[in-house]
Amino acid sequence: MLSKLFESLYNKVIVSIVLNRKSCSVYIEICSKSTVVDSQTKTFETATINQEIIEFVSSYTKESPYSYYSVLDTSVDQGAIPACKKSELSYYKNLDSYEYKCFDEKWVCYTLKNDLYEMKQQYKDFGVDFIFSPISIIYNFFEDKVKSHFALYVLVQDNFVSLSVFENSALMFAQHLDMKTSSDEELSASVIEVNSDLEESIGIDLDDVDVIEEMEDMEDLDDFGDIEDLDSLEEIDEFSESQDIEEEFFEIDEPIVESDDDSVNEDYQRFTLIQKSLGDYYNDKHYSSNFIETIYIADGVGVSSDLKKYLEEEMFLNVYIRRLDIPMEICSLAKGELGL
Amino acid sequence: MKYSYITPRDKSALTQEVQLLLSFFTITILMLFLTYTFLLYKNYSFKHEKQEILIKKEKLKKSFLVMEEEIVYIEKQKLLSENIYTKNIVLKDSISNLFDLIPSRITLTQAKLLKNGLILYGITPNKDIYNFMLQAPLRSIFHKTYSSFYPAQKGWYRFVSTNYINEEKEEKIDE
């Protein structure tokens, strides 16, 4: 009772910290009940928590004892599984050494317990109150879409790409991929492959679609000239044209980022990862591999138009990109946790 | 919906500074309260003591009055005893003197000591012995002396000597 009274007297300070490869983004929001009193965002040119960040954050958090620190789970070994019961989880992955959280009793997000501990150690100067999975950010960010749109949802971060397939709010498939750990050789091999025979790569994707019906005959159906596949592709294209207009407008309103060599390279890496992940989705017998025709991208870094072009031209996907401020989104999740 | 893997740490408005401040105020209030309680107790104690002292005072006053009365009574007794003692001494001296006065040839049979007089009964061989040897000293002591003789056996006389002191004169002498 007394603590509630004190809590109502103080403002709540929510600090969101996202560590990237070369920078650290900090977003601070000061809330009085559900009203935002002040907000501040700052990017530091450092990949670790240094004194400058500590001082910046402390200048806000010292005002209130009710300060909450939220971070994004950036560990490599994490993901999500389309099951919630313990008996079903083992079918997908052994989660003994993982911390996991169930959503809607339909799917779970998991991460390695050791990684959680390491993250707590990494932020020991502040202490951590909330750790969010990128998949849960996707779910929250595309909440309006996941309820009705069966699509691939992607969160693009500085050095990670998180993918998930949702259908009627239920997760079908998810992967969290690290751009750093993806070997350069593999990537360059992919580049050569795609550039040398673009049509062939498209053919492979279309074959993957066919897997839905006959997984075992996948090799036999690896034929670009299959008329049935082309017919089905046309139908899908027609269907994709009937996407809601709102999304199209949204897409048009998105600012087009000027592409330079670095961003093109990174975007191609991302494209490759998405392509690989989709291949995993279609090929992995653990998941029901329905054909994906739409991809929603939550852009947390400012991808160039090339990524969209790659996805549209090479994978025939309807691509919708939404700009996402990851620290701000984490903050909104933290506010949700606090009931603000 | 809860998305976080971990639950937030417990937050408390009681930061170290607030705790220090609260401790300070708590100690101060506690000290004030204790002082107040102590003063209340002392006040009660003083009142109680005052009441007891007042009762004691009343008792002492009463006792003092009783003692004064006793002192007066004792002083009176003392005066009386001194008076009696003096009178006894005087009487003793008087009797001693009386017996000294009696010559060996006269025998007293009875002596009555009165407040302001002396009555002697006795036997004398003759009137002259009595008149010269007893009456003369008696007359020097008493203001009035009366003697009566009655013949006894072998020519002796029984006598009754009544002697009085004039009180008014005596008082004047005392003064």
Residue B91 and residue B70 share a domain: yes
Residue B117 and residue B77 share a domain: no
The more confidently predicted of residues A312 and A340 is A312
The more confidently predicted of residues A256 and A16 is A16
With beta carbons less than 8 A apart as the criterion, state whether A26 and A327 touch: yes
* Residue A323 DSSP SS3: strand
Tell me if B4 and A65 make a contact (CB, 8 A cut-off): no
Domain that holds residue B88: 38-101
Whether B75 is covered by a domain: the verdict is: yes
Per-residue pLDDT at B64 exceeds 90? yes
Interface-testing mutation among A74, A101, A107, with chain B (most B C-beta atoms within 10 A): A101
How does pLDDT run across A4-49, given as a tens digit for each residue?
A: 887 888 889 999 999 888 899 999 999 988 889 899 999 999 888 8
Across residues A282-301, what is the average pLDDT?
88
Candidates B1, B2, B12; nearest CB to A65: B12
Per-residue pLDDT at A235 exceeds 70? no
Tell me what pLDDT residue B10 has.
86
For B8, nearest residue in chain A (alpha carbons): A129
Whether B85 is covered by a domain: the verdict is: yes
Residue B112 and residue B82 share a domain: no
Whether B79 is covered by a domain: the verdict is: yes
Across residues A191-201, what is the average pLDDT?
43
With 0.80 as the threshold, say if the pTM is over it. Answer: no
CATH of the domain at B138: 3.30.1360
Q: How far apart, in Å, are the Cα atoms of B35 and each of B21, B23, B38, B153?
A: 21, 18, 5, 109
Which pLDDT band holds residue B123 (cuts at 50, 70, 90)?
very high
Q: Provide the domain count of chain B.
A: 2
Residue B92 and residue B75 share a domain: yes
Q: Which of B80, B101, B122 lies at the terminal end of a domain, its last residue?
A: B101
Tell me if A65 and B8 make a contact (CB, 8 A cut-off): no
Residue percentage of chain B with pLDDT more than 90: 49
How does pLDDT run across B73-90, given as a tens digit for each residue?
A: 999 999 999 988 888 888
Q: Which of B101, B125, B151 lies at the terminal end of a domain, its last residue?
A: B101
* Residue A225 DSSP SS3: coil
Tell me what pLDDT residue A228 has.
43
With beta carbons less than 8 A apart as the criterion, state whether A282 and A137 touch: no
Q: Which residues contact A93 (CB under 8 A, 6 or more apart)?
A: A79, A81, A110
Q: In what order do the strands lie in the sheet with B117-124?
A: B107-113, B117-124, B157-164, B144-151
Across residues A248-271, what is the average pLDDT?
64
Tell me which DSSP letter residue A148 carries: T
- Dihedral of the alpha carbons of B146, B151, B157, B161, in degrees to the nearest 10: -20
Query: Mean pLDDT of all residues in chain A?
Result: 79
Chain A with chain B: Cβ pairs closer than 8 A:
65
Whether B171 is covered by a domain: the verdict is: yes
Tell me what pLDDT residue B25 has.
95
Tell me what pLDDT residue A242 has.
42
Per-residue pLDDT at A191 exceeds 60? no
Q: Which of B73, B101, B129 lies at the terminal end of a domain, its last residue?
A: B101
C-alpha B3/C-alpha A336 separation (Å) is: 9
Cβ within 8 Å of A, B 8-47: 8-9, 11-15, 18
Residue B114 and residue B81 share a domain: no
Whether B21 is covered by a domain: the verdict is: no
Candidates B4, B14, B15; nearest CB to A130: B4
Across residues A113-117, what is the average pLDDT?
92
Which pLDDT band holds residue A261 (cuts at 50, 70, 90)?
low
Residue percentage of chain B with pLDDT more than 70: 95
* Chain A interface with B: residues with Cβ < 8 Å: 3, 6-7, 9-10, 65-68, 70, 73, 99, 101, 103-104, 109, 111, 116, 127-133, 136-137, 139-140, 333-334, 336-338
Q: How far apart, in Å, are the Cα atoms of A320 and each of A102, A186, A247, A281?
A: 28, 27, 7, 20
Residue B172 and residue B109 share a domain: yes
Whether B8 is covered by a domain: the verdict is: no
Indicate the pairing of strand A170-178 with strand A160-167.
antiparallel
Per-residue pLDDT at A224 exceeds 50? no
C-alpha B115/C-alpha B93 separation (Å) is: 15
Tell me if A336 and B3 make a contact (CB, 8 A cut-off): yes
Residues of A in contact with B2 (CB under 8 A): 101, 337
Across residues B109-127, what is the average pLDDT?
89
Tell me what pLDDT residue A288 has.
82
Residue B168 and residue B118 share a domain: yes
Residue B55 and residue B117 share a domain: no
Tell me if B13 and A7 make a contact (CB, 8 A cut-off): yes
Residue B109 and residue B97 share a domain: no
Which pLDDT band holds residue B50 (cuts at 50, 70, 90)?
very high
Residue B174 and residue B115 share a domain: yes
Whether B147 is covered by a domain: the verdict is: yes
| 0.85 surpassed by complex ipTM | no
